[in-house]
Each structure stands twice: as structure tokens, then as C-alpha cells.
Amino acid sequence: MLVKPKFKQKSFLILLAVPVIIITSILVVLGSLHSVRKVTDNADQLVTLQIPELRTISELQSVLNRQLIILHGYYATTDAPDAFEEKRLDESFKSNLKTLVDIGQHAADGKLLVSYVENYKKSAENFHNEMQKGRGRDWDILREHLAEASAYAQQANTELTDWNQKVRNRLAQGSSQTQKEVENLNKIQITFNIAMVLVAGLLLIIIYFRMRDQGKLFHSAHFEPLTDLPNRRSLQLWSERLVDQHNSTNPFYVAWLTLDRLGLISGTYGHIQGDALINKFSRSLEKILDYCQVDIYLFSIGSSNWVMVIKDAEDDNLIKQIIAQIEKLTSKPFNLEERDYNISCSIGISKTLTHEKDIQVLLRNADMARRSVLDDGGNNHRFYEPEMTDSAEKLLSVENDLRNALEKEEFELYYQPKLSKQGEQILSAEALIRWHSNGKIISPGIFIPVAEKTGLVNPIGDWVLRQACTQWVEWQRAGYAVPSVAVNISAQQFQLKSFINTVKAVVAETGIPPEKLELEITEEAASARPDLVVSVMDDLKEIGVSLAIDDFGTGYSSLAYLKRFPIDVIKIDRAFISQLHIS
């Protein structure tokens, strides 16, 4: 079954909600401080001023009325009042009067009240003095003093009542203001709640779009856009964890698949068609893997490369069955826009050993097996073998040394003579290159293929051409009768646009007569691009050099196409004529 790896995304945008809410809260708090301060001030005035003020007014009125009652009783009964009670009431009256004047918010009212009280006390004192005369008291004077005391007491009472009303008015005003401030606080709270809802909604919208964008960025970073499969980065991040968690005794397989000839199709019909072909093949590959009995993880690591990670497969047979289905898929043409495209694939497979759990090693081994298939023509599969690593390391070593071989003058030419039938006369000498590296002579069969793959065959070929021509000229000067010299030319070198100019330059620099130079090209190279080869040969014939076809009979030999080539010599391969006497 095809399994798609899952990845965790981290988003820190939600943390922005915290400072936004804090800032909004601070603004709301600052806005509500004024109302809170007003409510607090009103409450302080109520507790510290208005309630004590009302209580003191009430006590003053009570004491004043009590004193007035005692005064009228004294007049009615002529019985002297209790001196202690009178003293207590008087002290209470003085104390409350002082308190009221001290805490009172109206200084004019306080002075007026004090004057009424003082007049009352004088009238009451005059009344007491007249009463103490006994039988000699004057009742008319007593009534006059009592009337004055009552009048002043009434004035004081009226003043206290007015004062009480003013306090109550202030209290009502403060209550009204407090109520307004509380309403303001409620409005602020409602505004804050609405603001929080709006902020939260806005943040949710921002977070949603940001997470959506992050999701798109994450997807583009971890998935191949063309196939929508996990890419190379996903493979590296995820597969290492999977290998570490693999505790089964069954092998762990990695298969690397490449579509062959895709570059030719894209170059011929366009990259849009090539991309469509990749996409269709990828979808078909997913369907095949989805029906497998084991978990298979598929990654797209390039335009035409896929990696399959297969775990818990019991043995190689299951892998071979999967590969067979894939090869069956590519054996049939893919139809796109009423055109059939024939493709093939090369697959390299590696598996874990008991001691190996490095995914990079597994990928390298699978890639090495895949390249081995490609080197043999592709359209096949191959399991990795340790010998592949040894061979690859040797090739890399050869390549590294080969890049410096010209500068170090490690190449040397040997000359193989071509003799007459009697063997008495040298007809020509063929230049054969040898490489002295680290004290060893390396065969051309080893380093020439490496040179062809790395592009080094061109400078090496130029050196051989120039060296062979120079040597022939030196032979002539030394008196050696060597009629001509033959040089093998690689297919890459022969197809270079600059090759004709190179030959002209070498002929001019060395002084060799063009007809004394024979250039050899293999049958395989000549038949690869015959039109181009014919054109180059015609240009070379104009210079005057001789041309030869080497190794004739090793490829798809045909005498018919030889008519097209302006050649002077055909070198027939031994394998072509070795059994002529039998057949």
C-alpha cells in the first residue's frame, strides 16, 4: 500500500494575539481610570463626609429639641432640671456643633448656625437666671426669654434642616454621577468585549490566511510541484526517522527509478509534453504501489527520478514482483493528446544489512545500481552489489588522476607498425596512447571510457594528434622511412565543430604533409550520425588527409553505407573474418 509521509508544521503567529490583547486591555484600562476615579471619590465623600455630616445634624437636632423640652418643662413645673443631664446635653451639643462646623462644606451656613445657637444659649441662660429668683421671678420676662429661646432654637433647627437637605442634594448628585460613571464603565466593558471579539475575529482571519500561506510554502518546500509527491528534502527528513524506527527483522529496501529517454522526448516534442508524461507515469506508479501488500513510501526527487522506500518486505521476491509490475507499465506506450510515447525505466535497488541503517548509504547504493543499469543501456533493474562501490571508487580515482595527467605529462605514445605482406617494409605506424600513473601503465580500455564521460577525451585526443604528427616529422628528419602515421579519433572529438580547424592547425604547426596523416574512426562512431560524419569527412578530404574506418564488422556492418563515406582504408575486425573458412 502506498503511504504518504506526514510532516508537522510549526506556526508562531498565534503568539501575536497575546500582545494585541494586552495592548487593547491597557487602552481600555486607561479609558476607564477616569470613571473609576470618580466613583472612588464619590464613595470616599459618602463615607468620610456626607454620612458623618448627616448623622451629626440629626444628633444636633435631637439635642436641641431635648434642651428645648427641658426648658419648657422647667417653666411649666418650676422644678429645676437635672444638672447632670443638662451638662451632658450641653457637652454633646457643643461636640456635635464643632464636628459639624469642621466637616461642613458650607462655611457661611456654619457661622449662621453658630450665631443661632449662641443666641439660643443666651436666652436660655437668661431664662434660668430669672427662674432662680424664686417668688420674685417675673413671669412676663420668663415668657419673653422662653419665646426668644424657642425662636432661636427654631431658627437653628431650620438651619440644620436646610443643611441636611443640602447634604442630601450633594449625596443625590454624587449618586447620580456615580451611576453615570458606572454606566460609562459598563459601556467601556461592552466596548472592550466587542473589541476583543473583533480583535479575535481579525486575528483568526489573519492566522487562517497566514497558516494557509505557510501551508502552501511548506507544501512547495516538501513536495514536488509536478507530481505532488514528497521531494528530496522530505525524503531526507522523513526516511532517516523511518529507518531508525525500523525494528523488524525483514529487510528495508530503497529503489531508485529513472525514466529512460525522457530528455529525447522533451527535446523533440517540448517540455510541456515531457512534464505531462512524467505526471501521467507518476499517477500510474502510485496506483500500482497502492495495491501492494506492504507499506511503500514514494518520493519524487527530480524531473524523472523517483525513490521508493519499502519496509517489512519478507524477501527479494516481493520487490521483484513490484519491479515487474512497473516494467510491465513501461512496456506499453503512454498516450497523450492522441500520440503514443514509448518509454522505459532503469531501477536500482538496495537493502539494509544487519549493521546498516544510514539512509544516505542506501540511496547511494540504489543510485549506483541504477547507474550500472544505465551504463548497460537502461530498461532493466539491478540489485546493488558491493563490487559496484569498488568499481565506482576506482573510476572516480581514475577520473581525478586523469584530469591532471596532461599537465604532469603522464601520457606516452607507442607506435604499432603496419607491415607489408612480406613483412619487409613499414607501410604506416599507428599511434597508441598509454598512461603512466603512479608507476603503473593504465590501459586505454580503462581510462578512455572515463575520458569520454567527463569530456577529457577531446584535449587528450588533440594532444595525441599533435604528438603523433610531431613524431612523424622527427622520424623524417632522422632518416626513418615511415610513410605515414595513423591516429584514432574518438566520436566526440570527430563531431566537434572545431575539429577541422584543429587538424588544420596541427598540420600547419608540425609541417606534416596532409596526405601522410591518416585519421581513423570506428564503425560505431561513423554509423551513429552518418550525415554529420560524411560532412566532416568531406572537409578533411579537402585538407588532404587520409581516412579509415576501424573495427569494421563489430557493429551493424553494412557495405551499403560505406559508399557514402569518402574513406581510403577499411580495417576489418578479426572477429568478422576469423571463421570465414567455416561458414
Residue 403 CA neighbour count, 13 Å, CB half: 8
pLDDT confidence of residue 43: 62
pLDDT of residue 25: 66
Instruction: State the alpha helices, DSSP H only, in 339-485.
Output: 359-375, 386-402, 444-454, 457-478
Residue 351 resides in a domain = yes
- Tell me the residue type at 209: F
pLDDT-derived band at 6, boundaries 50, 70, 90: low
Contacts of 554 (CB under 8 A, 6+ apart): 522, 523, 524, 573, 575, 576
CATH code, domain carrying 152: 1.20.120.1730
* Residue in the structure block whose three cell numbers are 457661611: 108
Which residue pairs, CB below 8 angstroms and at least 24 apart, start in 85-93?
89/63, 92/59, 92/63, 93/60, 93/63, 93/64, 93/67, 93/117
Element of type H or E holding 507: helix 499-510
Asked if 223 and 229 touch (Cβ cutoff 8 Å), the reply is: yes
Tell me how crowded residue 105 is: count the other CB atoms within 10 A of its CB.
14
Q: Which amino acid is at 300?
A: S
Any idea what the CATH number is for the domain that residue 325 is in?
Answer: 3.30.70.270
Grid coordinates given for 330? 513501461
DSSP readout, 34-46?
HHHHHHHHHHHHI
Q: State the pLDDT at residue 487.
A: 94
Cβ atoms of residues 527 and 561 within 8 Å: yes
At 413, which CATH number?
Answer: 3.20.20.450
pLDDT per position as a tens digit, 213-254: 777 787 788 888 888 899 888 888 876 676 666 666 677 889
Is residue 205 a part of any domain in this protein? Answer: no
Residue 434 has pLDDT above 80, yes or no: yes
Based on the fold, state whether residues 441 and 550 are members of the same structural domain: yes
Residue 105 pLDDT > 60: no
Length of the chain, in residues: 583
Q: With H, G, I as helix, E, B as strand and everything else as coil, classify residue 480.
A: coil
- Report the distance separating Cα 476 and Cα 40, nearest Å: 122
Average pLDDT over residues 30-47: 62
Helix residue ranges per DSSP H, 259-418: 262-269, 271-290, 316-330, 359-375, 386-402
**Does 220 reside within a domain?**
no
- The last residue of one of the domains, among 384, 412, 441, is 384
Q: Residue 83's pLDDT is what? A: 61
14 or 524, higher pLDDT: 524
Q: Is residue 281 within 8 Å of residue 343, measured between CB atoms?
A: yes
**One-letter amino acid for residue 441 of the chain:** I
Q: Indicate whether 410 and 289 sit together in one domain.
A: no
**Res 325: pLDDT:** 93
Q: Is residue 537 part of a domain?
A: yes
Decide: 335 and 280 in contact? Cβ < 8 Å: no
Domain annotation covers residue 213: no
pLDDT digits (tens, 9 = 90+) for 124-155: 788 888 888 877 788 888 888 888 888 888 88
DSSP annotation of 295 reads -
345 domain residue, yes or no: yes
State residue 407's pLDDT score. Answer: 86
| 365 shares its domain with 432 | no
Nearest CA among 580, 3, 578 for reference residue 289: 3
Domain range for 154: 16-199
End position of a domain, from candidates 178, 199, 220: 199
27 within some domain: yes
Q: 490 vs 40, which has greater pLDDT?
A: 490
pLDDT score of 14 more than 60: no
486, 429 Cβ separation under 8 angstroms: yes
How many domains does one find in the chain? 3
Residues 167 and 53 in one domain: yes
Check residues 570 and 428 and name the one with the higher pLDDT. Answer: 428
Half-sphere exposure of 307 (CA within 13 A, CB side): 28
**Same domain for 311 and 193:** no
Looking at 384, 408, 431, the residue that finishes a domain is 384
- The pLDDT assigned to 177 comes to 73
Least confident of 68-72, 392-396, 526-530, 545-549: 526-530
- The Cα–Cα gap between 458 and 44 comes to 103
What's the confidence (pLDDT) of residue 21? 65
Considering the chain, what is the average pLDDT of its residues? 80
Q: For the segment 392-421, what is each residue's pLDDT rounded down to a tens digit?
A: 777 788 888 888 888 888 999 999 998 877
Residue 526 has pLDDT above 90, yes or no: no
Q: Is pLDDT larger for residue 354 or for residue 192?
A: 192
Of 154, 158, 163, which is closest to residue 55 (Cα–Cα)?
A: 163
pLDDT value for 235 = 84
Cell of 170: 450633594
pLDDT of residue 299: 92
pLDDT of residue 18: 61
Residues 516 and 503: their CA atoms lie apart, in Å, by 13
Nearest residue to 346 via CA among 373, 365, 367: 373
- Residue at 434 is within a domain: yes
Same domain, 248 and 162: no
Residue predicted with more confidence, 284 or 71: 284
Under 8 Å between Cβ of 438 and 380: no
- The residues with which 302 forms a beta bridge, in sequence order, are 305
Q: pLDDT value at position 381?
A: 94
Looking at residues 564-575, what average pLDDT do you find?
74
Contact 286, 298 (CB under 8 A): yes
Q: Is the pLDDT of residue 17 over 90?
A: no
On whether the CB atoms of residues 544 and 515 are closer than 8 A, the answer is yes
The reply to whether 465 and 573 lie within a common domain is yes
**Is the predicted pLDDT of residue 163 greater than 90, yes or no?**
no
CA dist 303 and 278 (Å) reads 7
Clarify whether residues 545 and 466 are in a common domain. yes
- Specify whether 271 is located in the same domain as 188: no
Q: Which residues contact 531 (CB under 8 A, 6 or more apart)?
A: none
Exposed/middle/buried for 282, CB within 10 Å: 0-12, 13-18, 19+?
buried
491 with 369, same domain: the answer is no
User: DSSP per residue over 70-118, as a string?
Assistant: HHHHHHHH-PPPPHHHHHHHHHHHHHHHHHHHHH-S-HHHHHHHHHHHH
The mean-pLDDT minimum among 4-8, 128-132, 158-162 falls in 4-8
Q: Does 488 share its domain with 570? A: yes
Give me the helix-helix angle, 499-510 and 457-478, nearest 10°: 20
pLDDT band for 189, please (50, 70, 90 cuts).
Answer: confident
Chain segment 319-373, per-residue pLDDT in tens: 899 999 999 999 999 988 888 888 899 999 998 765 556 778 888 899 999 998 9
Place of cell 605506424: 429
CA dist 505 and 364 (Å) reads: 45
Q: What is the pLDDT of residue 78?
A: 74
Q: Are β-strands 296-302 and 2-3 bridged in parallel, bridged antiparallel, or unpaired? A: parallel
Assess whether 136 and 60 both reside in one domain. yes
